[in-house]
Chains A and B, each alone.
Chain A
Amino acid sequence: MRQILRLVLSLTIICAIATALLAYVHEATRLPRERIEKKLQSLALQEVLPTFETSEKHSFLANKSPQVKAFRASLKGKPVGIAIQGGTMKGFSGEIKLMAGFDNHGKIVRIKVLDHKETPGIGTKVTDRIRKRTLVEFLSGKVWEGIVPNPFLDQFEGIDENSCSSAKIGDRGINAISGATITSAAVLDALYKICSTYKLYNEGKR
């Protein structure tokens, strides 16, 4: 009996110390982590939207889940588009955060995966834009500018919100990446959510 108590007690103490440490580190690093997230967010906005000068957080969906965010961008006082950020938990190992930019005609400009925990080399074929260079290019020091193509993410450029919310893998020209079916489906799921949010935004405008 005394021995069992000793085991339980020591396990409890170790768990308590671990929890306290985690809570402390989580709180201590919260501000810098938020700052970096903001920075990455503004970089992502520049990538998914047409050229713009100012962007502001748009709060037409203030009562929706905190995962979903919208940003309105404008150039010389005129709106040029809206970017919507959404997420899904259906990724291969947890959450995938996605941002899509819509121009004034309601067409998708570009989509970008903001954050994910997919398997490197498999799921990242879907989510990341990785530059492929040849040895000759590397040795000659050739520098590439612009956005790296990604065969999966690029499929959604130029489609409107209606065909986006009815798009299925294997249908309407949406091809999944082989070996990364779950990640492909999860990105599509996040895009559905973004498109339905965009529809809400459009209805609110009318």
Chain B
Amino acid sequence: MTLFKEFSKGIIKENPVLVLLLGMCPVLGVTTNGVNGLGMGVATTFVLVCSNIVISFLKRIIPRKVRIPCYIIIIATFVTVVQLLMEAYLPDLNKSLGLFIPLIVVNCIVLGRAEAFASKNSIPDSIADGLGMGAGFTLALAALGVTREFLAHGMIFDLKVITVWQGAPFSLMTFAPGAFIVLGVFIAIIRKLQMRKAIREGRIYTPPKNLDCASCRVCDIDKIE
């Protein structure tokens, strides 16, 4: 049951894009259409799960004071290995996902989950967390991508739905400002739903306690060691 909880929290309650606001760079960059959003999401989920496993496995070996550089090295190595293997043995997959791989190396969701979750929890929990966060990321990116694509070109997943829209009548949506606007609307909707749910249950809405800022222990680092 707890495994499922770790998984499901990433989808709405602690959605990495809409609640934690992590990984904004790929969110704004690649969500020009639904297919790209989906591709980025799937590639990130894969790396996230694998890096969570490795970090969780090595959590007792890595010294606390140099943990961030260690995580970066492990994630970057992992991403490069995945890229090389994909180029060599899965050329078709590489054609569709290969472009997203270099964007993941510095994606702060991967580093954020390593620091906030995998470094403190067991391997099965970390896998569930990685899968859930990845699913939340994928859903948010695909939703953003489809919305922008539809508003800009009248297309859904690269298929033209409104054929009378030639070119890009609402071209603002294809650029970064469009991504900010759609993202803002999405965040507002999610927050409103969460607040309404909280009021119905008779409490005041507070963001999840273990958000990444709250779980940052940089200030206590000398006390821990």
Contacts of B81 in A (CB 8 A): 21-22, 25
For B159, list chain A residues within 8 Å (CB). Answer: 133-135, 138
Q: Which residues of A contact B52 (CB under 8 A)?
A: none
Within 8 A of A (CB), among B117-174: 155-156, 158-161, 163, 174
Contacts of B89 in A (CB 8 A): 29, 32
The answer to whether B77 and A29 touch across the interface, beta carbons within 8 angstroms, is no
Question: For the complex, what is the distance from the CA of A32 to the CA of B163, rounded to whole Å?
Answer: 43
Contacts A14-B73, A18-B73, A93-B102 given; does A36 touch B91 at CB 8 Å:
yes
Stretch in B12-20, B63-71, B193-201, B205-213 with 4+ CB within 8 Å of A: B63-71
Bound form: Cα–Cα A131–B14 in Å: 36
Give bound CA distance, A21 to B158, whole Å: 39
Check: A61 CB closer than 8 A to any chain B CB.
no
Which one of B36, B39, B84 has the highest number of Cβ atoms from chain A below 10 Å of its Cβ? B84
Given contacts A120-B100, A121-B33, A133-B158, whether A36 and B87 have CB atoms under 8 Å apart is yes
Chain A contacts with B in 99-144, Cβ cutoff 8 A: 116-122, 124, 130, 132-136, 138
Q: Given A7-B65, A135-B159, A179-B175, are A33 and B74 neighbors across the interface (CB < 8 Å)?
A: no
B40 at the interface (CB under 8 A from A): yes
Give Cα A36 to B92, complex, Å: 11
Q: How far is the CB of A140 from chain B (nearest CB, A)?
A: 12
Asked if B66 and A135 make an inter-chain contact with CB atoms under 8 angstroms apart, the answer reads: no
- Minimum distance in angstroms from B179 CB to a CB of chain A: 10
**A120 pairs with B36, CB closer than 8 A:** yes
CA distance A40 to B102 in the complex (A): 21
Q: Which residues of B contact A18 (CB under 8 A)?
A: 73-74, 76-77
Q: A29-B87, A120-B100 are in contact. Are A135 and B160 (CB under 8 A)?
A: yes
- Please tell me if the beta carbons of B160 and A21 are within 8 angstroms of each other in the complex: no
Counting contact residues on chain A (CB < 8 A from B), the size range is 20 to 34
In the assembled complex, the CB of B76 is this many whole angstroms from the nearest CB of chain A, namely 8
Tell me the A144-187 residues at the B interface (CB within 8 Å). Answer: 179
Place the interface of chain B in its size category. 35 or more
> Separation in Å of the A191 CB from the closest CB of chain B?
21
Q: Is the interface of B mostly helix, strand, loop or mixed?
A: helix
Point out the residues of chain B lying under 8 angstroms from A36, CB to CB: 87-88, 91
- Contact present for A119 and B66 (CB under 8 Å): no
Any A CB within 8 A of the CB of B44: no
Name the residue on B nearest A131 (C-beta).
B158
B65 to chain A: which residues have CB within 8 Å? 7
The residue on A at minimum CB distance from B61 is A10
- Please indicate the chain B residues that have their CB under 8 angstroms from the CB of A22 in the complex: 77, 80-81
CB pair A124–B77 under 8 Å, yes or no, is no
Instruction: Establish whether residues A117 and B99, one from each chain, have CB atoms under 8 Å apart when the complex forms.
Output: yes
Which residues from chain A contact B155 at a C-beta distance below 8 Å?
132
- Contact, CB under 8 Å: A11 / B66: yes
Query: Is the CB of B31 closer than 8 A to any CB of chain A?
Result: yes
Within B11-47, the residues touching A (CB, 8 Å) are 29-33, 36, 39-40
Chain B residues lying within 8 Å of A14, measured Cβ to Cβ, are 62, 70, 73-74
Further pairs besides A29-B87, A133-B158: 7, Cβ < 8 Å:
A32-B88, A36-B88, A119-B99, A120-B30, A120-B100, A121-B33, A135-B156
- Residues of A at the B interface (CB closer than 8 Å) are 6-7, 10-11, 14-15, 18, 21-22, 25-26, 29, 32-33, 36, 40, 93-94, 116-122, 124, 130, 132-136, 138, 179
A-B CB contact pairs (8 Å), 8 listed: A14-B62, A15-B73, A26-B84, A119-B103, A120-B39, A121-B29, A132-B155, A132-B158
